Amino acid sequence: MIGHIRGLAAFVSAGVLATGVVSLAQAARTTPLPLAPIGRSGNAVIPAQEGWWKNADGTFTFLLGYYNRNETTLEIPIGPDNRIDPGGPDLGQPTTFLARRQYGMFAIKVPKDFGGRRLTWTLTANGQTVSIPLWLNPPYVVDPFRHAASGNTPPRIKFDPEGREHVAAPAAIAVKYETTVGASLPLSVWFVDAGETTAHAAEGGRGNTIKVSWAKYRGPGGVKFDPQSQTINGSEGKALATAAFDTPGAYIVRAQINDSSGEGGGGDQCCWTSAHVAVQVK
């Protein structure tokens, strides 16, 4: 419930901030109500601060997502219509915005002395501008690494069985690939989800499933994944997919690995893992 309240607060604050970006008359016409039904097109994309946490080294990390109120994917390039200030405009945010609510899409690490400072993420889509502040607001503290009540933890993943392990929010580019237009690029993910198994054992051993999904995050053209999403029974295994790109250039694709806690961890921001994969297409 706390997670759902937090998300609602982010949308409400976004709507209020939008009136500071456009005239009051225009805001009355175009600024969406937080829980208004989405439409097929012509609507805003609302940034969302999922929460923040303190790292072991004393720095802090913001976790961010968005709510695309359209039924179609939108492309919003880095620049005046998709910027984070100060320090931006590019602080790793997406340029491809999938339909509906998308959780934990990227993370921003800030220094130990961040204090009372703020960042602002501004998005303009279909002529509607929405901005949200990112600051160390105490009620927004989250723990994406362990669920306090159930003991659940995120799946741990690798893109090579001997490679580096990734867990929870994307911290940097996880792996880099090269391919050519039209070719099928293999995308393999090895996963282990011991925390979910432990949590389920405490609840009577109802088993575990892992959902592995792929989506375009940035890039100049279209990407086709096969499969785009798959569900695997068990707490350990390998998921194999392919990606084909229709235009040359630099891309980032995003892997999302959910356990049975679901999208956004059911609003608690734990426990799933996502990673950004860079692909250079020739």
pLDDT digit string (tens) for 185-206? 999 999 999 887 776 666 555 5
Low-confidence ranges of the chain (pLDDT < 50): 1-30
For the sheet containing 82-85, what is the strand order?
82-85, 119-125, 128-134
Beta carbons of 89 and 82 less than 8 angstroms apart: yes
160 with 115, same domain: the answer is no
80, 277, 62, 34 alpha-carbon torsion, rounded to 10° = 60
Q: What pLDDT sits at residue 14?
A: 43
Asked if 120 and 227 sit in the same domain, the reply is no
Q: Which of 129, 175, 147 is nearest to 2 (CA)?
A: 147
pLDDT recorded at residue 20: 35
Asked whether residue 149 is assigned to any structural domain, the reply reads no
Tell me the pTM.
Answer: 0.84
Do 27 and 122 belong to one domain?
Answer: yes
Range of the domain at 112: 2-140
Number of domains present in the structure of the chain: 2
Q: Order of strands, edge to edge, in the sheet holding 156-158? A: 166-167, 156-158, 185-192, 236-245, 223-226
Residue 2, H or E segment: helix 2-21
Q: Give me the pLDDT at residue 265, please.
A: 78
For residue 146, being part of any structural domain is answered with no
Same domain, 19 and 55: yes
Length of the chain: 282
Which pLDDT belongs to residue 203? 58
What pLDDT is attached to residue 11?
Answer: 45
